[in-house]
Structure 1
Amino acid sequence: MDKRERSRLFRDRLAAAMQSAGMTKSGLARATGADRSTVSLALSAEDGRLPNAQFAAECAGALAVSSDWLLGLSDRHERGADMLQAAMRMEEAARAPSDERIFRWHEEARGYKIRHVPATLPDMLKSEAVLRFEYGDFVGRTSDQAIADMRDRLQYLRAPDTDYEIAMPVDTLEGFAAGEGYWRGLAAEERAAQLRRLAELADELYPSLRLHLFDRKKVYSAPVTIFGPLQASVYVGRFYLVFSERRQVLELTRHFDGLVREADVEAKNAPRFIEAMSVAD
């Protein structure tokens, strides 16, 4: 871009930012400490002159836009701090399978492919016995309420426009089947019933729901959900890290797709694999 074109772009963007902010020439002059004639010249000069850096920075600050945007160096009008806040935010996470925030994000992404790496087993596919064992009555809702909510969530997976992909570690299922660690204390018959339920649902809902199993010794993932191209959330316990900038969402999508490529058990084979685990248990 030559100097004359950049000068024209500065005039156009300055005028647009002033209109958006409802600011007059006099108001901008007061906000920047410049003469009104300086502002008028910046909005009308066609000789290719650009404002000095101080004036451009003062205008950007007064109008809450990026000076790089005013000068044609960026197409993002937000200031750096605002861009960072818009691209990534923290949201409180309810320790419950019926987190209304998560369900709202699912609804907003309806029609897009959703990719999910669960923290344990996929909440939408858990049995009532597992929900009671895992969440109990200490998450702000009773187990009965959580179970009722999760029945509604399962209907989401049965909707005709659903495209849902889950990747989870094989050892999560192996530890569950053996009743180890997190699952110590859950009766063997309840674990076997959950595995059968998971196998049946993975078979019933395929291909709109695809469950892949990967080896955590080869690849690793934190719990993450990617809501189409809209946003992605990484679960860290007490809160979610939510990413909404396109490049960030794309990188997390590539990460998930890498898990699928490395999967030891593909979605079409997952029901039989899980059913065999329930029989062995």
Structure 2
Amino acid sequence: MTAIKSYIEEKRTMFESYLLQRVEALQAPAPLKESMAYSLRAGGKRIRPMLLFAALETYGKEAEKGLDSACALEMIHTYSLIHDDLPAMDDDDLRRGKPTNHKVFGEATAILAGDALLTFAFELIASSTAHSPEQSVKLIRMLASAAGPEGMVGGQMADMAGEQKTLTLPELEYIHLHKTGRLLAFSVMAGAFIGGADERETSLLEKYARHIGLAFQIRDDILDVEGTEEEIGKPVGSDESNDKSTYPSLLSMNGAKEKLTEELNGAHEALAALGRPAPLLEAFANLIAERTA
């Protein structure tokens, strides 16, 4: 676990510097750029871009080759959090231990900052010199699919519709495979695509990504019960107070932990069948399952 944390720290420094430089260089109103940068700086572990880098390195490619795609991914993830925190949606005051964007900049600026991050993300990939035009078009399509109505946004809609209802396990998994899982899957699939994975390898990595996407959310649900506000950066029990179905509420805490182990094993089985060493991806699966924030 120490090795993967060192890897993340090394790549995160490079990634965050580039990410914020791209926002700072924009010819845009200062308050808009400040609002965009505020939420980007909140950061967290940068699991999604780091997974993209890890997939690239599994195929012997330098992480820098995926830098623009990783930044685009993180911008879309960040925009979704800004909008998710708004009063019309989750109405949260804290995000990663800091006041949410609309609490600092106001609702109108927060909405526009989210809009700006979403649209600038696609410009980043389209203008990247790291890929051929054909590769850029494929990456844009992949990311748009992961983030749009059949992906993250659709999952968010289903999540809101499921509040104050007791969902079935398939309904809950649909939400999380889309709201959380699709962007995590893009991380792996984009790295594999840029790295040159063949069809068989792509299929196995897609299975890996599906398993870690569910594992990520199950762990999130467990932390919402067993974590601390200091660790998770938001009030403990917020899902329960919002009347949301969770893995512990449907399966019991022990059942949720068993399900987490099942998804983790599935991720490792997919990697074992890959036919090439993937130590970074293996370590990320363990990290996701054991994280405390």
Q: Same fold (TM over 0.5)?
A: no
TM-score, structure 2 length as denominator? 0.26
Answer 1 or 2: which has greater helix percent.
2
TM-score, structure 1 length as denominator? 0.27
Answer 1 or 2: which has greater strand percent.
1
Q: Is the radius of gyration larger for structure 1 or structure 2? A: 1
